[in-house]
Structure 1
């Protein structure tokens, strides 16, 4: 059961999640919290409704065919109706979800692709308000109007680092995933995997859509995010993922992700 007493959508969702009957004036179909223990993942599924998903606690990764996002409690992801997605936990987390009828959403929220939004205290307060099951329909409709007004996109870039299919490039990718701080150039990797630097560069470009340098920066940022979420000092995170100083790491993080580390993981935030 959700906190507002409605039946929760099944985890083993099929092509769609049922839409629960509600009053015609109500936009929010369902609000609920779903515990996500460490390492737990939901199967890939889609909804007939738009979904606003956020970590009520902890750190969540949401994968789609259009990208992958690692979300702290300060951020939420708008998932348009029909987009297949798979949430998974990074540590113990709670997935918060709000489902909305596409026909009831204003044009200002007509995002056609997954969109990262800020989950500031005002949005969280509105969500807590909408969870109540004693709201009059008029009061609920007013709150939902305000909800749409405060949905605010943030310039966050997908940091997925696809694994190459070729066994030689894949060997390099997996070694770097195990040790993101390894700074060897492709020429140094070549002898170990049986391919020239030029061949490896071509394989990364054609099989991941990224140059090797771009791919490695994404991998490092992805590896850094759980460490930042744990509250490790920037200097320590920088060393673990291959940067000589906190300032060089912070600059690279901003360039790749679109926010600074402290904007992405605010100090004193929830979770």
Structure 2
């Protein structure tokens, strides 16, 4: 798949920078509903791409690097870079495709990266796809978004997946069932390798220990359940926590807000879309 073949032409918004400004290029904004059957196989674009899951979760693969992304993360994929996307739950994908002439300054944007999505960046993306601003306002939205990207640090909090095939299979199983109670030794035995091999694969491939990674995948899954309306007392055991209080504490440490506040803010943002 290449170009914009996967996009619904009824929802794409294509426009040119206002003629009153120096014309540097063009950008397109799209919204697509996705579910667990949606998959965009390896493809590339002539434009730079910003990809944001305003809801749901995406596994993005670029040059052998796999990451699970939610609404806290914005993926930057430069023009010509082959990538693929998979989705494990219903959600909404918002993308911006822009002429490379419009990218932020500096060589750091020649490769793929993820950055944190703050409230303003998320609001700008929703405004571009919903309000369909024209002329100077559209250009100003893009200019502000580029300014936010330029000052944003790399986001290493996105959920990376290990590259080693056996460790990747374990990671995929835990993403599918985050409440699975098996520890490192049991998973290693299941895969037919030593615990040290799996531990090393997680550390080298994700930057976290197996235990730390499993906490993150549980909270990653919890975030999606909360946005879809599940109650905190139901989410906690569903992602492997015996104690609701323990779950709330871990969630607050990861997202800096309680599960209830996270869910309310997320649904408010989506409701305004």
Shared fold (TM-score greater than 0.5)?
yes
1:99 CA displacement: 1.4
Conservation of the 8 A alpha-carbon contact between 2:202 and 2:209: no
Structure 2 residue runs of 5 or longer lacking an equivalent are 8-13
CA distance in 1, matches of 2:140, 2:186: 62
- Structure-2 separation of matches of 1:105 and 1:190: 44
Q: CA deviation at 1:157?
A: 0.9
2:207 aligned with 1:206:
no
Q: Deviations over 1:211-242 (max 9, x none)?
A: 33133223323433332232222332222222
- Partner SS, residue 42 of structure 2: coil
User: Which region of structure 1 is more displaced relative to structure 2, 39-48 or 90-99?
Assistant: 90-99
Matches within 5 A, 1:1-271: 9-11=4-6, 25=23, 27-55=25-53, 58-65=55-62, 66-72=65-71, 76-107=74-105, 111=109, 112=111, 113-118=113-118, 119-129=121-131, 131-132=132-133, 135-136=134-135, 138=136, 140-151=138-149, 153=152, 157-162=157-162, 165-166=165-166, 176=174, 179-187=177-185, 199-206=194-201, 209=204, 210-253=208-251, 257=254, 259-260=256-257, 262=259, 265=263, 266-269=265-268, 270=270
Larger RCO, structure (CA 8 Å, separation 6 or more) = 1
Any idea what SS the aligned residue of 2:181 has? coil
Assess, with a 3 A threshold, how the Cα gap between structure 1 residues 88 and 249 changes in structure 2: closer, same or farther.
same
Q: Which runs of 5+ in 1 are unaligned?
A: 1-7, 13-19
Q: Could you tell me the TM-score, scaled by structure 2's length? A: 0.67
Distance 1:116 1:189 in 2: 32
CA RMSD in angstroms comes to 4.0
Structure number with higher helix proportion: 2
Greater Rg, structure 1 or structure 2? 1
How far residue 9 of structure 1 moved from its aligned partner, in angstroms, is 1.6
- CA distance in 1: counterparts of 2:188 and 2:90, whole angstroms: 39
Q: 1:41 to 1:49 in 2, by over 3 A?
A: same
